[in-house]
Structure 1
Amino acid sequence: MRWACDGFGGLMRVQGVLLGLILGISLVFIAQLFGDWDEAWEVNPGAVVESWHRLREGSAGSGDAHHFLTLLSCAFLHGDVFHLTGNMAYLWGFGALVSELLGWRWMLGVFLLSALGASVSHVIIERDSWIPMLGASGAISGLMGAYLDMALRWDLPDPHIWPLAEPVAPWKLAALAAVFFAMDYHSMFTRTAGNIAVGAHVGGFTVGLVLAALVVPMPRVARHRRT
């Protein structure tokens, strides 16, 4: 089974929101190049933890609200062009897969909730750190987790995603997602990832996996596996 888009119009109808998300993140990166405003919107674990304590004490203010907003805003920021292009390539790949299966609303919902889950996971793991974190890879890991769960539960069609010439078997894409998760999980405990926030990757992946397992409906193009 193969999916195909009916020209540019079909591509925009199915993947327009995803392309808009990629474009928006890219424009944010361009804006980062022309100012020093972006660090204020990166998530700082130590600052978030302090804001959380003030919230529990009932003394939180507008500055604390800003720190909580960075749990989401950091996913739209990137450190350099290589960071951006790598993340956008994987966002296009797995975002397109989830959009094809579930529609753009589910894709966007998984992205945003996984971004939050990734940031919260990073803050918990690095709660004593004051080094800021940024990037969309945690949210993208959530899309990987969601696709892995669906590929394990249901018989999915072979996706055809522009600009790939041929469709790729779902099990290969699921295996790719599983390998990335295993590498991040291993790096999180061995502390071998350098300045990569693998805890955020693991947190985002877990959120996407859980959403697909508990909330996401069975795609109309999927079939139950035969036993």
Structure 2
Amino acid sequence: MRVVIPVHDINPVRRTPWVTYGLIAANVVVFVLTPGVVGSLVGEETGLARLCDLQAFLDHWAAVPRELIHGQLPDLVPTGGTGVGPRGPGCVVGPPGYDKSPALSVLTAMFLHGSWAHLLGNMLFLLIFGNNIEDRLGHLRYLLFYLVCGYAAAYGFALLNDGSGDPLIGASGAIAGVLGAYLVLFPRARVWVLVPFLVFLPLRLPAWIVLGFWFALQAVYSYGGGTAAGTVAYVAHVVGFLAGMLLAWPLRPGTPQPPEPRGLLFGRRARHTW
């Protein structure tokens, strides 16, 4: 859940964030190639065959907590076909025709998303906050940082849900690490956000408010507070965020801060009294 929608941060960069752009492009390409996505774009109905194809795809490429912690790979998986059994139509299952590495599945799962909303929300946060972290770390260190945060988030979630056989997908854990690093390195950077209050109200807030509030929500939802977590792995967000903070902490002393904006406060021109 995102109560505030970031639009732009006032934090210039010195170099083009090629890795951030590449990660966004890779996520979009993989999503378009995911079974059923192209059909949904042209208005085709989601039938049983497409759902079976998607389930087979996720069983192959998504991270599964039970597999990550215990190495329990299933003997039977959906094969992508459909058939009629004693209980009616369903997906055909059989021995997996591939060798799956649970550790490698964490990497592939980082580029899988369940919907356009899931994808676009993640990519928006990565685009706004990732460029400054890449600028601070450099291209290769930033890519390594991103992947380490993604792995930490996935395994952190799996440790607390080691019996789950549900697929874990999405770049949220890695991007949460980027947000954690941004909070540590650029807490006073200003971020333009849209806040839904009858209409979308534009505000310019310090990053520590925007990202601190985001993290607080993830923490609350991860413990079952507020609305039900549903299928969102909030624990992975919390672990990824903390991993990003921890990795970025040693870089705080040498990080140049963005210029302090003048004349504007929370989207309005400030009036000075003397």
TM-score bin, normalised by smaller chain = 0.7 to 0.9
Structure 2 distance, partners of 1:142, 1:120, is 14
Higher Cα radius of gyration: 2
- 1:29-59 CA-partner distances (Å, limit 9, x unpaired): 111136643431111111222218xxxxxxx
The secondary structure found in structure 2 opposite 1:196 is coil
- 2:22 alignment counterpart: 20
- 1:55 alignment counterpart: none
Cα 1:180–1:4 shift into 2, 3 Å: closer
- 2:102 alignment counterpart: 67
Structure 2 length normalisation: TM-score? 0.63
Q: How well do the aligned residues superpose, as a CA RMSD in angstroms?
A: 2.9
Structure 1 distance, partners of 2:245, 2:12, is 26
- 2:236 alignment counterpart: 200
**C-alpha contact 1:118 1:203 (8 A) present in aligned 2:** yes
Check if 1:146 corresponds to 2:175. Answer: no
Deviation at 1:3, TM superposition (A): 5.7
**C-alpha contact 1:157 1:221 (8 A) present in aligned 2:** no
**C-alpha contact 2:189 2:207 (8 A) present in aligned 1:** no
- 2:70 alignment counterpart: 50
- 1:213 alignment counterpart: 249
Cα 1:110–1:26 shift into 2, 3 Å: same
Structure 1 distance, partners of 2:209, 2:191, is 15
Structure 1 distance, partners of 2:107, 2:165, is 17
How many pairs does the alignment contain? 195
Check if 1:177 corresponds to 2:211. Answer: yes
Structure 1 distance, partners of 2:153, 2:12, is 32
- 1:161-191 CA-partner distances (Å, limit 9, x unpaired): xxxxxxx97x712321111111111111126
The structure with the largest strand share of the pair is: 2
- Which residues in structure 2 correspond to 1:55-204 (within 5 Å)? 63=99, 66-152=101-187, 172-190=206-224, 192-204=228-240
The secondary structure found in structure 1 opposite 2:169 is coil
Structure 1 length normalisation: TM-score? 0.75
Structure 2 distance, partners of 1:94, 1:18, is 10
User: Given residue 46 of structure 1, which amino acid in structure 2 is its aligned partner?
Assistant: R
Segments of 5+ residues of structure 1 without an aligned counterpart are: 53-61, 161-167
User: Percentage identity across aligned positions?
Assistant: 28
- 1:100-139 CA-partner distances (Å, limit 9, x unpaired): 3333233222211110001001101111111111000110
